[in-house]
Amino acid sequence: MSTALLDKIEKTQAQLERQGLLRRRHAISASLPDEPNIELPDQLSFRLKGKHYLNFSSNDYLGLSRSKALIDAMCHASKQYGVGSGSSPLVTGYSQAHLALEQRLCKITGHEAALLFCSGFSANMALMKTLFDSSDTVMADKLMHASVIDGLRDCQVQLKRFLHNDVASAQRIMNKQVPTALITESIFSMDGDIAPLLSLSRLCKQNNVSMIVDDAHGFGVQTPPLVDAKIADIQVVTFGKALGCQGAAILASQQVVDFLVSNAREYIYSTAISPVNACVALAAVDLIDTDLSLVHRLIDNISYFRQQCEHAGIKLSDSSTAIQPLVLGDIDTTLLVADRLKELGLWVGAIRPPTVPKGSARLRMTITAMHTRDDIDRLVDGLSTTLA
């Protein structure tokens, strides 16, 4: 059956494929050992169509997604709460498990209150669309995540975008028109670089401007933390990166959170994140707050990877974080290199527009605390071979 809608879809998909921009899913297979724990190196491998790959594209920076502590927390919580929340938070979906996680997040960041969401994307969308409207002017870093930009466009704010991580650019815009808020990320997801948070915070305080920080890729992997209530008026953290599980939270003043509870449609009309997920996230927060060994191991692995790449003549972007981009520019070249790495059993993300600006297609490699030096050497050898 052919309809106008299906014809439109077919033409669009064909065009994306010609441009090398068509996206597809891959159902991978992975198995846990009988007694899983965070020390096992094989949790970085997976199978796809019978072939084994070493994963260098995961955001599970500390390897907690298969931590025995988190698995135990999930099993215990499911027996106590069941596996779902059953309704929206404002009906009966808000439990003591949710409250405990919110309070713990506030304790370690210094914020007064927190609000849980099922994903970082939904948290950012809710925040933008609820706080702002067409009467507001909002400043945002040029490379802000799509969830923030989409939310700001939906609420029709006057959006001013300052040059990436450029305080002087932000200052120039603010001198012309003081905005309602300034928004940045802590660690940028595609470049792996860190925002000048202290300088931006000072700028905002001098002009009585609220500062919002999307801390998705920074929370839990930096010591000391990049962001807290002293720096950001509002902080968004996600649980699917360093915490190894699922969900997100908006951290802010009690006044802001109360306003969101009453007005954020994504919160009011969505089934709450399950109590089980809240308990797992709480276990992850407790772990990273009391044991820095995984963070230190991650930092060591990042340093080792960059050193080995330098010795091999591989020019990486300037990033000291787990996100290590290798900008190749051309889409076809990027896809070709990624495919050749896959032939070597190395799974690396090939990032293309519109996720990144045109002309900056790249390999996005993520280093984790679970990678061994042998794993990293294998990646560097693979890059040297495929780039030759």
For residues 210 and 233, what is the distance between their CA atoms, to the nearest angstrom? 6
Q: List the Cα angle 250/171/155 in 5-degree steps.
A: 45
Annotate 325-368 with DSSP letters as a single string.
EEEEE-HHHHHHHHHHHHHTTEE-EEE-TTTS-TT-EEEEEE--
Does 130 have pLDDT greater than 60? yes
60, 141, 214, 215: the active-site residue: 214
137-189 pLDDT, tens per residue?
999 999 999 999 999 999 999 999 999 999 999 999 999 999 999 999 999 99
Say what the pLDDT of residue 25 is: 75
98, 111, 129, 217: the active-site residue: 217
Helix (H, G, I), strand (E, B) or coil at 24: coil
98, 111, 129, 241: the active-site residue: 241
Chain Cα centroid distance, residue 2: 39
60, 102, 141, 185: the active-site residue: 185
* 59 included as an active-site residue: yes
> How confident is the prediction for the chain on average, in pLDDT?
93
* CATH number given to 68-290: 3.40.640.10
Say what the pLDDT of residue 30 is: 63
Chain Cα centroid distance, residue 268: 24
* 76 included as an active-site residue: no
Q: What does the domain layout of the chain look like in residue ranges?
A: 29-58+292-387, 68-290
Say what the pLDDT of residue 149 is: 95
52-84 pLDDT, tens per residue?
899 999 999 999 998 999 999 999 999 999 999
189, 201, 301, 319: the active-site residue: 189
* 217 included as an active-site residue: yes
For residues 74 and 275, what is the distance between their CA atoms, to the nearest angstrom? 9
Annotate 170-191 with DSSP letters as a single string.
HHHHHHH---SEEEEESB-TTT
- Are the C-beta atoms of residues 134 and 157 closer than 8 Å to each other? yes
Question: pTM for the full model?
Answer: 0.90
Which CATH topology does 29-58+292-387 take?
Answer: Aspartate Aminotransferase, domain 1 (3.90.1150)
Which of 10-14, 87-91, 193-197 is predicted least confidently? 10-14
* 98 included as an active-site residue: no
Say what the pLDDT of residue 103 is: 98
For the chain, list the strands marked E by DSSP: 45-48, 51-55, 113-117, 137-141, 158-162, 181-185, 210-214, 234-238, 248-252, 323-329, 346-347, 349-351, 361-366
Query: What DSSP designation does 194 have?
Result: B
* Terminal CA-CA length for the chain: 49
For tokens 């709450």, the residue is 272
Q: Which two three-digit tokens encode residue 180?
A: 């309602």
For residues 52 and 72, what is the distance between their CA atoms, to the nearest angstrom? 27
Does 1 have pLDDT greater than 80? no
